[in-house]
Amino acid sequence: MGKLGVSVYPERSTFEKDAAYLDLAATYGFKRVFTSLLEIKGDKDAVVASFKRVITHANALGMEVMVDINPALFDQLGVTYDDLSFFHDLGAWGVRLDLGFTGAEEAKMTRNPCGIKIEVNMSQGTHYIDNIMSFSPNRDNLLGSHNFYPHRFSGLGQQFFDLATAMYTRYNLNTAAFVNSQAATFGPWPTQDGLCTLESHRSLPLATQVKHYQLMDNINDVIIGNAYASEAELKAAHEAFVAPYPALRVVPAADSTALEQELLFDNPHSYRGDRSEYLLRSTQTRVKYAERDFPAHNTQPITRGDVLIDNNGFGQYKGETQIALQAMPNDGRVNVVGHIHPDEAFLLDYLTPWSGFRMVRG
């Protein structure tokens, strides 16, 4: 089972606010904490002390803190790749290498006596990880995580994301990626338009982003990149992350009946295995409601994302629930009873035959 995470940036906030946020996140089951120590300005000892105070608080909550660093910081702190005791003394669970070394150093770092986790950058799209693996790292201490992108339109595209992620999943390494809170206001840098890995996520509700990662099934840990997510977002992200089945948001048609809404929202659904290019079929409702009446209404032409129930005109199919995967004509035997929320229509591409799902009011 993967983990949910949040991010804190001690240099850009106060200990009290960071601590309160970590307390809240912990109550919703968040386990990972990301923070960034990419550059130190001013009094080095004071900066390190402020980070250590926040990390100590997170550790007391049973959370695991990953500190983002780069090679220049090693020089600034007087740290070498073969002695990570500084980060152990800081209380860090692991260090994330924003920029890597040659592969040999990373492999050696995974065998550090402190047991510090080494997380490497998955977003490069090179054979960097293959090089590290050739130096026989301790896989238990080697993780991967994607970057986040504060500049709008600079985030990863889906095709590249899939390609880069596959380079890590083939080694069965723990993977992580970032999602974007719509309530949060800051990250490690002065400018940010949100902090997500996938550009397509930037303006989506947080829970929808989490659902997408759960459906892709190639990312273990999902971390909120910006601070501070709202309590409502933390709760919704947790619910999406631990849900036994993904829940698609559906906007019911204004004149959908109480019975039709019962079919949609009060029943589990299963994507029938003998798939159609036109329809995602959930057939058990026609069995359960075989004796009920489904008069024809809202029989307009069908568009992708429409939620459908076959009406009395469809004989033995009466009461079957479906989601339209593409546009098609309607001969009057199908009631259009709702529509997948526009924010979540893309998730239809990730549902697979024989998979279960639920529908919730959107």
Reply yes or no on whether the pLDDT at 38 is more than 80: no
Q: What is the mean pLDDT of the chain?
A: 96
- CA-nearest of 16, 88, 17 to 59 is 88
Q: What is the mean pLDDT of residues 95-119?
A: 94
Just give the CATH number of 248-361. 2.40.100.10
Confidence of residue 98 (pLDDT cuts 50, 70, 90): confident
Rounded distance between C-alpha atoms, residue 66 and residue 236, angstroms:
23
Reply yes or no on whether the pLDDT at 71 is more than 90: no
Q: What is the mean pLDDT of residues 19-47?
A: 92
Rounded distance between C-alpha atoms, residue 159 and residue 8, angstroms:
30
Q: What is the mean pLDDT of residues 188-217?
A: 96
From 40-49, 80-89, 336-345, the region with the lowest mean pLDDT: 40-49
Residue 321: predicted pLDDT = 98
Angle at 248 (CA atoms; ends 242, 252), nearest 5 degrees: 140
Alpha-carbon separation of residue 278 from 102, 184, 265, 360 (angstroms): 49, 39, 22, 22
Q: What is the mean pLDDT of residues 279-291?
A: 98
- CA-nearest of 256, 316, 261 to 291 is 316
Residue 1: predicted pLDDT = 81
Would strands 221-224 and 174-179 be described as parallel, antiparallel, or unpaired? parallel
Rounded distance between C-alpha atoms, residue 340 and residue 248, angstroms:
7
Q: What percent of the chain has pLDDT over 70?
A: 100
Q: Are 235 and 27 in contact (CB under 8 A)?
A: no
Reply yes or no on whether the pLDDT at 66 is more than 80: yes
Residue 81: predicted pLDDT = 86
Residue 179: predicted pLDDT = 98
Residue 259: predicted pLDDT = 98
Confidence of residue 100 (pLDDT cuts 50, 70, 90): confident
CATH 2.40.100.10 domain span(s) along the chain: 248-361
The domain made up of 4-243 has a fold known as TIM Barrel (3.20.20)
